[in-house]
Chain A
Amino acid sequence: MIEAIKQKEALIKSLSSQKDIFNKIRKYSALGLVVSLILAFIFMFVLRPLGTGLFILTLVIVVAVGVLSLLDYIWKCRIKGAEDSHRRLIYDFEHPDHPLVDEKVNIVRKALNSVKNFFSKPSNIIVFVFAIVLSIMVLFPLGKLFLNTFQVGTRDETRLINEEWGTSLSMGDWTLLNWPMLLFPKSKDYASWSLSFFWKPLGNSVAMSLLACTIAVVFGGAFAWLITRSNIPCKKFISTVFIFPYIMPSWSLAMFWENFFKNSASAQSPGVGMLQSMTRWMTASGVGICAPEWLIYGLIPTAICLGMHYAPFAYILIGGILRNMDANLEEAATILKASKFKILRRITLPIVAPAMISTILLVFSSSLSTFTVPDKLRFSSISITLRSLLSTAGFKRMGYVVAVILMIFSILILTLNNWFTKSRRNFTTVSGKSGQITKTDLKKAKWPIAVFAIILVIFTSIVPLLSFVLESLEENSGDLSTLTLKYWTSSQQFDSFIASKNISTQGVFHNSAIWGAFGRSIIVAVFVALIAGTCGILIGYAVSKNRRGKLANFVSSVAFLPYLIPALSFGAVYYSLIKIPAFSFLDISTTTKQASAVGICIIIGMVKFLPFASRTGTNAMLQVSGEIEEAAVITGCPWHKRMTRILFPIQKSSFISGYLLPFISCMREYTLFILVTSEVTLITNVLQYFTKNGLGQLANAINLLIVVFVIGANFLVNKLTGASIDKGIGG
């Protein structure tokens, strides 16, 4: 017996040391993976063969990490088995009269008991249900998208691959060649295409995203500091108005940018914009100030618009930390006679660093895959390539490859974000909230800074709204002498061709197409918000109760995945779903009823916007001490009462904020729903339809309606419940 125990101990020791080796190799491989990927990316622009080699190396490392993880898992199981057996031997040795044989006999009962025990906890049931539901609704589309990259689906896709690689594939065959076709084609012609059509746009997008991050962090961070840590006047106004650009659709900012800066001197932008129109009196020739081309279209304006759009995001994240940080740290430094700069450098910045990094990573990820802003401001980004590939015969599968690459970027970024934010969680848990926050006295600079800040927020938040108002009132864009109310009040049809399709083109107040679509958009947004928000709370609850559980982590991660899937690809997957006869009741082309389109939009929106709600729900639940619920459990309070009477009221404002985010996102969404709606289903459909058909005044009026409605809803909810979008984002 002793000999057997000793053997087991030796086995455990040997297995553990082997496992340590796997772990070490895995860690170095992961590090190598990141380095290799970065180097590969850099070398693709400088020395392509080396870049190609590094990419292959990256793929090899990915496979290696996977294998090592598997080995690690197997070894873990082996060690656990050896340990159990070791324990049993010791027990039998110590209790020779009561061996553990019974345990083996009752293994079935034991398994049943553990299953019963597992499902006795509501949080486990939630986790289990969501694991299945999300696997079907998220992993399935995702997997399908991924598998699509390994197949040639149409004749042209097959022809393209065969033409380049000399293969003899047939339609429907599985192949790896879609990837090298896009990334490292063999022939010179395709290599130059790959460089200009994939690598350069990817580089452009990276540059655009980095610039947008910088603008968002600098702009948002500075305002966060001014509002939370200084005595700047008009704080309420600045902080309220500052988040408008985040509430607005990003493309409406791009629309504003073009409206504002376009001018008669620009080759790309015909027409006169607000700036030129307002400054005619300033120039002797009466032409007005004409912004240079690079300020209207291209990298700079695209990055500025995205930066402006995401600056409130940075403001909320960094502001949240600055507001909650322990002021004693800074006070202690002040007492020790540290200079302001030193305090900023050694205390404030390190504390806000995780939030800044979070902002940078999330803004980077969102900007990288954004389509509407670069499209409007004519910047060759990777999302334009994606859209083009998806719409060109023979290139669709390569479009899927781009979509997967964008997702890989996002997943890497998310992993980095999770890694960085660990330190943030530690900080807030330890310190808690401080009642005393020392405000920096701006002294004489107080008012000039306030005026500058107000001008800035007015430009980014109020002027866009003003431009939509003006554009909806001007007969000729940019010409204030042609102001008219007819695009709001007239019952005349402004486009007889569109009207002949039974789509009203009357003034906004008389326009049945606008109001019908607006109503449907509200219905979709409300249902999406209710369902996604509630699911978010449930996921948050379940995850917070099973923080170390693998299944809970799985649910939490999968719930976030839709954030990483490009909207058009996501919509396309659900479009395929409604073509299955069982789901045809959701297909507007089958039922001819707008209700069908509304139904499928609710489903798609619910899944796509779940990440916002689940993150908010999880953050909110993690802030609630487990003891509160435990006390209720002891008193025999059932689960639904604990949720509705205790947990929800405690974190009411955060939860409601979790409902607000999907609501707002849904109200302004277009690309996600385009395949499952008609031209008049949702308000964004009507907006795009009118824009394409030259009804610019009506389109601007709709834009204004959307923005005002969303801001109004946020304001109303804030007043009624204390919840707001910033709580949703900040957690």
Chain B
Amino acid sequence: MRKKINKYDIALITFIVIINCFLLYYFSLNLTKPKESIAQIYSENELVGEYKLKTGYENEFEVKTKNGKGYNFIKIKNNEIWVEDASCPDLNCVHQGEINSTGQVVVCLPNKMIIKIKENNSDDNDDIDFYAQ
């Protein structure tokens, strides 16, 4: 018994693949690319900054953890936001690449930093809303 792959394994794997493809499709339905969106940056569960993503707006800045040891260097360009450099050893957040649609996130587990994107509903024209860091 239990020696080789059998038809029940294959059935299970197919089932899992189908469910996950369906989930992928479902999640991709929720991704919308609005004309103007806001990137919210949370560090250690606190909102540290909100930046508007719109054409022609560029910015780069550093988000530091509270103890001052960890950092994430974030860049905004062409409606996209990404992490350019970070203090963590595996650089997962850098590899996650650019994001531009609502629903997408970039997470950094070691620094407990997360970037979320939501649609911009307000009409004010300020470029940046800073929060206390």
A binds B: no
